[in-house]
Amino acid sequence: MSSSKERVFVTAATGNIGSGVVRGLIKRGIDTTAYIRDEQKAKDLFKDELNTGHLTVVVGTYSSVDIFTKAIQGHTRLFLLFAASGTRPASMSEIKGTFAKIAFEQGVRQIVDISSAFVSSYGRKGIIGYMHFAAEEKLWTLADENSEERSLVVLRPGSFMSNHFMGDVHHIKDSNKIVSCGLPSSTMTWIDTKDISDCAVIVLSESVEKHDRNVYEMGSETLSNEQRAAVFTKVLGKPIIYEQQSMEDFYKTHISFGMSHSFVYNFALASSKNICETTTPEIALIIGRPLRTLEHWVRENIKSFE
Ligand SMILES: NC(=O)c1ccc[n+]([C@@H]2O[C@H](COP(=O)([O-])OP(=O)(O)OC[C@H]3O[C@@H](n4cnc5c(N)ncnc54)[C@H](OP(=O)(O)O)[C@@H]3O)[C@@H](O)[C@H]2O)c1
């Protein structure tokens, strides 16, 4: 890659995946712009990276289209991630469509989009599938309007290991159990967000042609609820059990935490039908190492669960 000529624009740059993307690009000496809404958070997160002279920070949101339009000028690649809770289901496709259209018109040659494995396994079924499916459709249409100059790469990850920081962490710490409404034998395929960031960094730093129009699904390990509890048992050195609650209790509890009907319903669906159809060991061909296991992840985050 002619890294000196490339400039990468990273949305959601202070998030889990976005911050990993920024760090990875800077490590490779690639000029990078972090699009963030909280300047102080960015300064704290990227102290070292800001000292390299390769990182620029732009303050803006998904609604500040004027700021985005000005800031994206001069960039060759865009990392696109939309995560805003409480928005209308159509917001994801509207915002990604708007940002991608502007970016391509301003000369961006490659967009790397974070979608979801739900698109492969569920299509539009479930609100998360709908949101990502609709957004992908807009991006593919925009890219195909000028296939010579517009490249699109879509990453479709499975369930994030970091989801354990939401409800599970409290159950594990307070009562040595994982609680959900799936059968003990129901499976879910997990992925570490570090692997997603690393994959995005490779795609954003290799030739645009190499990855053009690939959809990369990402799933490291498929574990039943019982197997997941066993991983926590092994790493924490104390018995963690899986407890199946009724669908009604699951629904009521999550609604009481302020989640919308559509999201809770989606999670209830996913409790009996996995988000991924298979694991994806082939991602090692891109990132040059195997995907990280849940055991790696729990060991790295053990303090949060003790
Ligand atoms: N969780 C899963 O299992 C899973 C599976 C597959 C796909 N996904 C997808 O992965 C994405 C989540 O990625 P992530 O974990 O990296 O997200 P995250 O850590 O929650 O980060 C979200 C980022 O978006 C920024 N943001 C939120 N609202 C914004 C707004 N209105 N304007 C500008 N920026 C805003 C946040 O800024 P602040 O830092 O200032 O808050 C943060 O940088 C979602 O699209 C989700 O659907 C998730």
CATH number of the domain residue 41 falls in: 3.40.50.720
**Which of 37, 164, 216 to mutate for ligand 1's pocket (most ligand atoms within 8 Å of CB)?**
37
Cα(5) to centroid of ligand 1, in Å? Answer: 29
What tokens appear for 115 in the block?
């979608």
pLDDT value of residue 42 = 98
Within-domain flag for 263: no
Cα(148) to centroid of ligand 1, in Å? Answer: 30
Within-domain flag for 36: yes
Within-domain flag for 209: yes
**Which of 131, 160, 193 to mutate for ligand 1's pocket (most ligand atoms within 8 Å of CB)?**
160
Is the CB–ligand 1 distance for residue 126 below 6 Å? no
- C-beta separation of 95 from 235 below 8 A: no
pLDDT value of residue 3 = 44
pLDDT value of residue 1 = 46
Is the CB–ligand 1 distance for residue 160 below 6 Å? yes
Cα(133) to centroid of ligand 1, in Å? Answer: 17
Write out pLDDT tens, residues 154-164: 999 999 999 99
Cα(63) to centroid of ligand 1, in Å? Answer: 15
pLDDT value of residue 115 = 98
Ordered alpha helix ranges (H), the chain: 16-27, 39-45, 47-51, 65-71, 91-105, 118-122, 127-144, 168-175, 193-205, 208-211, 225-236, 247-256, 261-270, 284-287, 294-300, 302-305
Is the CB–ligand 1 distance for residue 188 below 6 Å? no
Within-domain flag for 224: no
Within-domain flag for 20: yes
Write out pLDDT tens, residues 63-89: 999 999 999 999 999 999 999 778 899
Ligand 1 atom with the shortest distance to the CA of 62: 32
CA geometry: angle at 206 spanning 204 and 208, to 5°? 75
The rounded distance, in Å, linking the Cα atoms of 80 and 15 is 12
pLDDT value of residue 270 = 95
Global model pTM greater than 0.75: yes
Question: How far are the Cα atoms of 248, 255, 262 from residue 258, in angstroms, in the given order?
Answer: 16, 5, 12
Within-domain flag for 251: no
Is the CB–ligand 1 distance for residue 15 below 6 Å? yes
Q: What is the pLDDT along the chain (306 residues), one digit of tens a residue?
A: 444 489 999 999 999 999 999 999 999 999 999 999 999 999 999 999 999 999 999 999 999 999 999 999 999 999 999 997 788 999 999 999 999 999 999 999 999 999 999 999 999 999 999 999 999 999 999 999 999 999 999 999 999 999 999 989 999 999 999 999 999 999 999 999 999 999 999 999 999 999 999 999 999 999 999 999 999 999 999 999 999 999 999 999 999 999 999 999 999 999 999 999 899 999 999 999 999 999 999 999 999 999
Ligand 1 atom with the shortest distance to the CA of 132: 47
**Which of 21, 46, 81 to mutate for ligand 1's pocket (most ligand atoms within 8 Å of CB)?**
81
Within-domain flag for 239: no
Write out pLDDT tens, residues 119-178: 999 999 999 999 999 999 999 999 999 999 999 999 999 999 999 999 899 999 999 999
Within-domain flag for 284: yes
Name residues whose C-beta falls within 8 Å of residue 142's C-beta, 6 or more positions apart in sequence.
97, 100, 101, 104, 150, 152
Work out how many domains the chain is built from and give that number.
1
pLDDT value of residue 301 = 98
Is the CB–ligand 1 distance for residue 116 below 6 Å? yes
Domain span at residue 113? 7-160+191-219+275-289
